[in-house]
Amino acid sequence: MPELPEVETLANELREKISGRVLSKIILKEKLILKTPREVIEKKLPGKKLVGIARRGKFLRFDFDGALAFWIHLGMTGQLLWLKEQDFKNDLHVHAILFFEDIPEPLVFRDIRKFGSFCLTNGSSSSLPEGIRLLGPEPSEIKNEAFANLFRHRKGRIKSLLLNQKLLAGLGNIYADESLFRAGIDPRRRPYRLSRQKLIALHRAICDTLQEAIRQGGSSIDDYLHADGSRGSFQNFHRVYGRAGEPCSVCQAPLRQIRLAARSACFCPTCQK
DNA sequence: GAAGGCCTGGAA
DNA sequence: TTCCAGGCCTTC
């Protein structure tokens, strides 16, 4: 499940390897989800120089010459891997192949569940699809006060709100659960009833968790891999996510799993109030 | 704001 | 055989 730290890791690695290279060829298979017509992408991208790679929320953005931005969302199971032809030619889950000049192996987009998508935009913000244009702020780029204000009057469950990309960009199930644990907040709490102090503590916890996860190269649970095929290691440091029934690392009480808005939520009933 | 749908592989 | 995982979107 690529969330902010996983996409950030990928962006950093890819930038180092292919920034400044020319995209020589792109193959888009039939089942790939495209938010821009296939012909447009095939006509505009080849021959363009990649001038940079960035992350916005859970989106990866390839910036090309001529103010073209190529957006990749990995969905749940999307992967970007450097692979040799013989290693993917019979792979049914490969949906796109990108070739760069002077790079021997192509960059392959693999996605088992097909929740990932591609999109090509020009420089204007009006060309952005809503899913990108309406993204909330990056957690590390807002101040405590602004963060608290985002949630202050909200009546929904804090966990569900943290997953809302329009409010705050980049968190998914893993990092929402982990951050709430660190902040000592029960995922079912309603933010308008939380103190300002508590909201600020949550902001701190989110920033710390994300930063540590990036340092560990993200979490590799089911599908996430770095572009060279190696695994992240933050899964070894999860304190609640995927650990229902295990003892809490702080108080030894068994961790609980509940469902919140059709999503699982793991937490410690003793430490999180 | 809640719930269901898309999708597939793996577990129950 | 059914259910669950969860990115995001649509519908109620």
What would the pLDDT profile of A109-154 be if each residue is shown by its tens digit?
Answer: 999 998 999 999 998 888 889 899 999 999 999 999 999 999 988 9
User: Residue A56: CA atoms inside 13 Å, Cβ hemisphere, count?
Assistant: 17
Spatial CA neighbour of A185 closest among A201, A168, A161: A201
Give the number of other CB atoms < 10 A from CB of residue A143: 11
> Does the C-beta of A55 come within 7 A of strand C?
no
What is residue A21's predicted lDDT score, i.e. its pLDDT?
Answer: 98
pLDDT, residue A222, reads 84
The residues of A annotated as belonging to the active site are: 2-3, 58, 263
Provide, in whole angstroms, the distance separating residue A223's CA from nucleotide B2's C1': 29
Contact A154, A193 (CB under 8 A): no
Q: Which phi and psi angles does A260 have, rounded to 5°?
A: -135, 115
Nearest nucleotide, CA A92 to C1': B8
State how far Cα A215 lies from the chain centre: 15
Contact A48, A62 (CB under 8 A): no
Tell me what pLDDT residue A126 has: 81
Report the alpha-carbon distance of residue A22 to residue A144 in Å, rounded: 41
User: CA-to-CA distance for A104 and A244, rounded, in angstroms?
Assistant: 44
List chain C nucleotides near protein: any atom < 7 Å from a Cβ: 4-9
Q: What is the pLDDT of residue A262?
A: 84
pLDDT at A39: 93
**Is the distance from CB of A132 to CB of A119 less than 8 angstroms?**
yes
| Structural contact between residues A122 and A84, judged by C-beta atoms closer than 8 angstroms | no
pLDDT at A164: 94
Secondary structure tally for chain A: helices H, strands E: 8, 10
Looking at residue A175, its pLDDT comes to 95
- Between CA A224 and C1' C3 the distance (Å) reads 23
The answer to whether the CB of A157 falls within 8 A of the CB of A261 is yes
Q: Which of residues 14-43 of A touch strand B (CB under 7 A)?
A: 31
- Residues of chain A where predicted confidence (pLDDT) is lower than 50: none
Report the nearest residue to nucleotide B8, CA vs C1'.
Answer: A113
pTM: 0.96
In Å, what is the CA distance from A83 to each residue of A16, A66, A94, A96, A103?
Answer: 17, 28, 11, 12, 11
Give φ, ψ of A83 to 5 degrees.
-130, 150
Through-space separation of residue A10 CA and nucleotide B6 C1' in angstroms: 26
